[in-house]
Structure 1
Amino acid sequence: MSSIKEPFSLDQVFNPASLETVEESPVAYVTKACYRADPAREAIAIKSASTQPHFSKKPHDIAKELRILRKLSHVNIINVLGHGFDETTSSLHFWMPFIPYKLRDLLDAPSFSPHPLPGAHRQEHNGRSFAVLARSLAYQIIHAVKYLHEQHIAHRDIKPGNALINEGGVVKIIDFGIALADPAVHGNMDDLWPEPPNEMCFDVATGSYRAPELLFGASSYDPYATDLWSLGTACAEFFTPLRLQSHYDDEEDFEYDSDEERQKRSFVIPTSLELSDPDAEWRRNPLFDVSRGSIGLAWSIFKARGTPTDTIWPVSLNEAMQCIA
């Protein structure tokens, strides 16, 4: 395998006028671009991040992400088209096919539901089409995760935002920036943030997709099991309610009797909003509520699944023993 730090400049490969930032986080950014030599070719997505620890955040590691992706070959996992290293900024760039559609966008669409919109808002609805599409998407994501685990790699950030869907309906799992490869199989000599067995990073996964053991600072856990938890909560959102909310507000006063009552409704429409409101948009409810932070998320999980016991939560998870009933 060739070095991942081969010097190059983005301007050598891509048309500078075509560069457009489409995603940005504190540790990385993704740019849409066109090739300089052949502008008519399909657009690509360039992921860029620093390889220096003081410009990164544990366990994010773009060099490890690139090494992992170059080892993988699966129809439902994004493929790397090329890469280069900018010595002046110590930044690593790699590029992939540009896919503008995310599972997150589909989940927020009221047409993607097993139920039609109620009353005056009812639209033509085909429950069979929903079932076929949901089954196809779930199968593809499960297939990708199964392949990763067979390669001794845990993704550690499975969520709808990291599942792209191309125009042919094919799912592509992306963002391996915090993935964990078994060092016994893949080695970890070049990792920016090595994670020994008893010093694993628990600040992984996102929001409502985080497994319970991650919420209490576990320094040793099964990363494949946390992937399966995230996978289950993501697929469950195919069937959770959609709620109408203002584009500018994080929360709305739903004015219903209880959380349980809201969850029974397929579509939650606050009395303060109408579908015709220009600022109104649909958002899919997650399976578990993360709006009140990690402790609130734990409460939401335990409320639905029951409080952990010695049987289902082994004593080895010492950091979380305060939650044992």
Structure 2
Amino acid sequence: MMEQDLKMMEQDLKACYSIEENFDTNYKMLNTLGEGKFSVVKRAFHVPTSTSVAVKILQNTKEYTSPICREARIMKSLSHPNIIKLFHVVQRREITYLVMEYASEGELQDRIIKVGSLEESETRRLFAQIVHAVQYCHDHHIVHRDIKASNILIDCRGNAKLCDFGLAAEVIPGQKLAGFCGTLPYCAPELLQAVKYEGPPVDIWSLGVLLFLMLSGNLPFQGRSFVDLKQEIISANFSIPSHVSIDISNVIIELLMINPSRRPTIHQIMRHPMIRGSEACLPPTSTQISQAPQATALSGP
């Protein structure tokens, strides 16, 4: 039975990914950029084009085959200047490699930790770019479900890039999702209440948490235990620092509405003066992107 399961898993993977025999000679692995429960992300040098890329290395376990296929399929379908681009997918017997655009300035989380909090002007610019990325996802029926500062990368031009679609879901209007996922301090109340939920409002709540963090240097919900943190989130118990300007404070309050139906849609956020008044400065296609390996055709199950 185990041998049969293994063969089925290999068939699923072959349907989703290309196999490149000379992967090891084309890419020189360098330093580790980040690690997760089932993956590690490394910076690599693409020898044929002399280009730096990021390579997400995933273990091909039986239970993780479908999520890997989904993540690759979703990333392949997205093309936006504020979303990390997937260039190439390589499948081996035990490992899958996602070759992606490299953002040289690292995670937004690290920048916030380094400086304490961002200047309001920088927050407005970066947040506008992130909203543009989320709008693109929602317009293409994709919900991210794990928007957080460590999943926002900064490229060499100082522009924001949404990354890590490992928990993303493809949805149709009105479709309800189920099950807890994401990072607890960023999770919307409905995720903690064992009820089916709509995907887009979950991303909107996470944007509110992110905006609060960018300006204050702290998360709005900081319970000392899981129970305390859960209660703070469910009751939306937070206090905006006094130095935050009124227009941004109002945005945070709107995004962190307990009732998901009362949260603005991503298009309503786009019309807010805070976003309209910010120069999103969408980055043009960089030399790095144009030279990097092209994404291969992926077919999902």
TM range (shorter): 0.5 to 0.7
CA contact (8 A) 1:30 1:45 kept: yes
Alignment of 1:125-140 (within 5 A): 130-140=119-129
CA contact (8 A) 2:151 2:162 kept: yes
- The partner residue of 1:149 within 120, 138, 142 is 138
**Distance (Å, rounded) in 2 between the aligned partners of 1:75 and 1:152:** 18
- Given the alignment of the two structures, is residue 110 of structure 1 paired with residue 120 of structure 2, yes or no? no
More helix by share: 2
Which residue of the partner structure matches residue 97 of structure 1? Answer: 101
Number of matched pairs: 226
Choose between structure 1 and 2 for higher RCO, CA contacts under 8 A separated by at least 6 residues. 2
- Given the alignment of the two structures, is residue 45 of structure 1 paired with residue 35 of structure 2, yes or no? no
**Distance (Å, rounded) in 1 between the aligned partners of 2:86 and 2:71:** 11
Alignment of 1:1-325 (within 5 A): 4-9=16-21, 10-15=23-28, 18-38=29-49, 41-54=50-63, 56=64, 61-86=67-92, 88-89=93-94, 91-100=95-104, 101-110=106-115, 112-113=117-118, 130-182=119-171, 200-218=177-195, 220-240=196-216, 284-293=217-226, 295-301=227-233, 302=235, 304=237, 312=259
**Distance (Å, rounded) in 1 between the aligned partners of 2:224 and 2:53:** 34
C-alpha change, 1:4 and 1:29, in structure 2 (3 Å) is same
- Displacement over 4 Å in runs of 4+: 311-314
**Distance (Å, rounded) in 2 between the aligned partners of 1:211 and 1:149:** 17
Q: How does the TM-score come out when normalised to structure 1?
A: 0.63
CA contact (8 A) 1:288 1:297 kept: yes
Code of the residue aligned with 1:5 in structure 2: it is: Y
Note the C-alpha offset of 1:47.
0.9
Note the C-alpha offset of 1:5.
2.0
C-alpha change, 1:98 and 1:290, in structure 2 (3 Å) is farther
Note the C-alpha offset of 1:291.
3.6
Of all paired residues, the percent bearing the same amino acid is: 28
Q: Which has the larger radius of gyration?
A: 1
CA contact (8 A) 1:8 1:85 kept: yes
**Distance (Å, rounded) in 2 between the aligned partners of 1:299 and 1:44:** 41
> Which residues of structure 2 form unaligned runs of 5+?
1-13, 240-257, 262-301
Note the C-alpha offset of 1:155.
0.2
C-alpha change, 1:37 and 1:73, in structure 2 (3 Å) is closer
Note the C-alpha offset of 1:92.
1.9
